[in-house]
Amino acid sequence: MLRKLLLPVILAILAYGLWLSPEFKEISAGVAIFLFGMLSLEEGFKAFTGGRLEGLLRRTTDRLWKALGFGVVTTTLMQSSSLVSVITISFLSAGLLGLAQGIGIIYGANLGTTTGAWLIAGLGLKVKIAEYAMPMLVFGVILLLQRSKTLRGIGYVLAGLGFIFLGIHYMKEGFEAFRSAIDLAQYAVPGIQGVLIYTLLGILATVIMQSSHATLVLTLTALSAGQITYLNALGLAIGANVGTTITAVLGAIGANVDGRRLAAAHVLFNVVTGAVAILFIQPFMAVVEHLARWTHLPAGDFTLRLALFHTLFNLVGIVLMLPFTGRMVCWLERLFRVRRPAVVRARYLHEAALEVPDAALAALRKEVVHLFEQAFGILAHGLNLHRETIISDFDLDHLVEAPPRLGDYDIEAHYDLRLKQLYGDIIDFASRLRTTLPEKRADELYQLRNAARGIVEAVKDVKHMRGNLVHYTSHENPYIRAEYNRLRAMLAKVLRELHRLLLEEDADVTFLSLDRLKVEIREMEREQDERLEQLIRARRITPLMATSLMNDAGYAFDAAKALINAGQTLYRASDQAEDEAERSLQLEKDEIDRLAGGDQSS
C-alpha cells in the first residue's frame, strides 16, 4: 500500500517543484540526465561482460585481498559499484564465488566508487565538461545504431559518459542560478545534529535515485556553489554511502541465500562505516585537513576535501572490517540458513544468475551436476546397492553378488520427491535463458539441457528394469542371476566413474578416460548378446527370462550411455584451452565401435 502511494506522492512533489522553480527544474533535469547516463554506462559495460569480466572474476578472486583489489579496480574503471555488486551477487548465487570473496569485492567496490567523487571534484566541476558531452553523444548514438555488439557497447559507454557530463553541467548551472534566487546555506544545521540530519537526507536521496553517484554529484555541485556547508556535505556523503546498499538489497531479492548473505554484509559494512564516520567526524575532518595541506590542496577547495573524506572513511571501514570478515561469514551463515525442503528444488538457478550469460550457464551446469547427485542415490538404490558401496574402492563385480537388501525401495516416489521438480526448474530456467542468451552460446545450453534429460531418462530406464532386477537377482537360477548382476555392476561402474569425475574431481578419472568406459560398455553389450544366445540354446534360461533380460539389458545399456554422455557434457577443465584440447581428442562413435571390435566396416 505504502509503495503504491509513494510514487504518486514523489511525482506530485516533483511536479509542484518543477512548476514553482525554473532552477529546481534545471537541477532535476541534471539529475535525470545523469541517472540516464549511468544506466547507459552500465548497459555498455554489460555488453563487454560476455566472458572477459567473468573470466577475470573467476581467476582473480581466489583470495580475499585479490577480491578486494578486483572490487577496487573494476569499480574505478566502470564507475558503477551497482554493476559490480549485481555481477557479484549473480556469481555468488551461481556458486562460482565464496561468500568471503564476495564480501571482499563489495569492500573493494566501496573504495573504488570513491574515485567518482575525485573525478567530479577534480575535473567535472573545474573543466567545462558539457563541451565534451556533445561529441560523445553524437559518436555514442551513431555507434549505438550499429549491429556489432562491441560497437554498440562502446556507443552505450560514450553516450553514457556524454549524458553524465551533461547532467553534471545542468546541476552546476541550476545551483549557480539557485544561489542568486535562494540561499540554501541559511538552512545549514551546525554540529553533529547537522551531520545526522544530512546523513538521513543523503540516505533518502540515494534510496530514491538508487545511485550514490547522483547524490554525491548533487552534493559536490551544491557545495561548490556554496549552497550547503562543508559539514552538511560530509553528512550527505555518509548518507549516500549507506543509501547505496539499496541496490544490493534489491538485487538480492531474486538471489538465493548466498546473495542475501552478501547483501546483508554490504548493508552491515556500509552502516558500520557510516556510524564510525559520524562518531569520529571531528578526527576525520582533522586528518582530511592535514592531508589536504600535505598534498597542497587549495585552501578553499572543499569539494576535493569532501572526495578525500569519502575515500578516507571507506578505507578506515575496510581496515576495521577486514579482520572480522571470517567471523562475519560464520555469523551470516547462521543468520541466513539454507532451508531443506521435502521436495528437492534448484540450488543455483535464481533470477540474479540470469543477468549474466556466463554466470547463468555456469549455474545451469552446477544444477545439472546437482541433478546427477540426486539421481545417483536413486540409481544406486534402484540397482539394490548403497551409495557408499558404489563410491567405495571395493570390487563391484563381487559386491553385486551379495544378497539384495532394498527390495521395497519405491523408485517412483523418490523420483517425484528428488528429481521431478528439480528437473522442471532446470527446464524452466533453460527456456528463460534461451531468450537472452547470445546465439553462439545456444549450443552449450542445448547440451546442458540434453545432459539433464539423459540423467532423468537413465533413472526411468532403471525404474523400468527394477521389477525384473529385484525378481531375478534373488532367483534360484544362477545364470539369470549372474546376468542381472553383470548389468548392475556395469551401471554401478559408470556411476562410480562419473562420481569421481564430477563430484570428487579424482585425478585418475578424466574426461578422456570416459572413452575407455564407452569401449568397455560396447564390448559388454556384444558379449552379453553372445552369452544370451548360448544360454537360450543350452536352455539354461527360459524364453520368458530371455525376453526380460533382452529388454532390461537394453534399458541398462541405454542408461549407461546417457549417463556417460551427460558426464562428458558436464565436465569442464579448469582452463578453456585445456577443455577444448581434451574435447578434440574425444573418440567418435565409429572409433569406439572399432576399438570394441564390433564394427564390421573397418
Partner 1 sequence: MLEKISHLLGRKPPEHATRKQLHKLLKRLKHRQRELEKRCEHTDDAHERKRLEREIKVIREQRRKGVHLYRELRK
Q: Which three cell numbers, joined as nine digits, stand for 511?
A: 574426461
Tell me how far apart the alpha carbons of residues 263 and 268 are, in angstroms, rounded to a whole number.
Answer: 9
Tell me how far apart the alpha carbons of residues 369 and 196 are, in angstroms, rounded to a whole number.
Answer: 51
| 18-27: b (≥16 Cβ within 10 Å) or e | eeebebbbbb
Task: Pick the closer one to partner 1 by CB: 55 or 467.
Answer: 55
Tell me how far apart the alpha carbons of residues 490 and 528 are, in angstroms, rounded to a whole number.
Answer: 12
**Cα distances (Å, whole numbers) of residue 319 to 107, 248, 264, 330, 340:** 10, 22, 19, 19, 36
Task: Pick the closer one to partner 1 by CB: 140 or 251.
Answer: 140
Task: Pick the closer one to partner 1 by CB: 21 or 586.
Answer: 586
Task: Pick the closer one to partner 1 by CB: 253 or 581.
Answer: 581
Instruction: Quote the least distance from Cβ 363 to partner 1, whole Å.
Output: 17
Q: Which three cell numbers, joined as nine digits, stand for 577?
A: 584451452
Tell me how far apart the alpha carbons of residues 99 and 560 are, in angstroms, rounded to a whole number.
Answer: 37
Contacts with partner 1 by CB under 8 A lie at: 48, 50-52, 55, 148, 150-151, 512-513, 515-516, 519-520, 523, 575-578, 580-582, 584-587, 591, 595
Task: Pick the closer one to partner 1 by CB: 271 or 512.
Answer: 512
Question: 101: Cβ–Cβ under 8 A, 6 or more apart, which residues?
Answer: 61, 62, 63, 64, 67
Task: Pick the closer one to partner 1 by CB: 412 or 578.
Answer: 578
Task: Pick the closer one to partner 1 by CB: 516 or 572.
Answer: 516
Instruction: Quote the least distance from Cβ 49 to partner 1, whole Å.
Output: 9
Instruction: Quote the least distance from Cβ 141 to partner 1, whole Å.
Output: 18
First to last CA, the chain: 75
**Cα distances (Å, whole numbers) of residue 196 to 193, 294, 489, 523:** 5, 29, 71, 78
Instruction: Quote the least distance from Cβ 585 to partner 1, whole Å.
Output: 5
Task: Pick the closer one to partner 1 by CB: 55 or 407.
Answer: 55
Question: 68: Cβ–Cβ under 8 A, 6 or more apart, which residues?
Answer: 104, 105, 107, 108, 111, 318, 322
Tell me how far apart the alpha carbons of residues 164 and 79 are, in angstroms, rounded to a whole number.
Answer: 11
CB of 79 within 8 A of CB of 115?
yes
Instruction: Quote the least distance from Cβ 32 to partner 1, whole Å.
Output: 31
Assign 398 to helix, strand or coil: helix
Other C-beta atoms closer than 10 Å to the C-beta of 468 total 18
Assign 329 to helix, strand or coil: helix
Instruction: Quote the least distance from Cβ 213 to partner 1, whole Å.
Output: 25
Instruction: Quote the least distance from Cβ 140 to partner 1, whole Å.
Output: 16
Instruction: Quote the least distance from Cβ 485 to partner 1, whole Å.
Output: 15
Task: Pick the closer one to partner 1 by CB: 56 or 291.
Answer: 56
Question: 371: Cβ–Cβ under 8 A, 6 or more apart, which residues?
Answer: 419, 422, 423, 426, 452, 455, 456
Instruction: Quote the least distance from Cβ 150 to partner 1, whole Å.
Output: 5
Task: Pick the closer one to partner 1 by CB: 1 or 577.
Answer: 577
Burial of 599 (0-12, 13-18, 19+ CB in 10 A): middle
Tell me how far apart the alpha carbons of residues 266 and 346 are, in angstroms, rounded to a whole number.
Answer: 25
Instruction: Quote the least distance from Cβ 525 to partner 1, whole Å.
Output: 14
Name the amino acid, one letter, at 459. Answer: V
Query: What is the torsion angle, in degrees rounded to the nearest 10, for the CA atoms of residue 444, residue 447, residue 449 and residue 453?
Result: -170
Task: Pick the closer one to partner 1 by CB: 261 or 518.
Answer: 518
Instruction: Quote the least distance from Cβ 584 to partner 1, whole Å.
Output: 6
Task: Pick the closer one to partner 1 by CB: 408 or 588.
Answer: 588
- The distance of Cα 204 from the centroid of its chain, to the nearest Å, equals 29
Task: Pick the closer one to partner 1 by CB: 131 or 578.
Answer: 578
Task: Pick the closer one to partner 1 by CB: 483 or 515.
Answer: 515
Instruction: Quote the least distance from Cβ 155 to partner 1, whole Å.
Output: 12
**Cα distances (Å, whole numbers) of residue 239 to 75, 219, 271, 389, 506:** 19, 11, 9, 59, 51
Instruction: Quote the least distance from Cβ 511 to partner 1, whole Å.
Output: 10
Tell me how far apart the alpha carbons of residues 145 and 168 are, in angstroms, rounded to a whole number.
Answer: 25
Instruction: Quote the least distance from Cβ 492 to partner 1, whole Å.
Output: 15
Looking up cell 545534529 gives 193
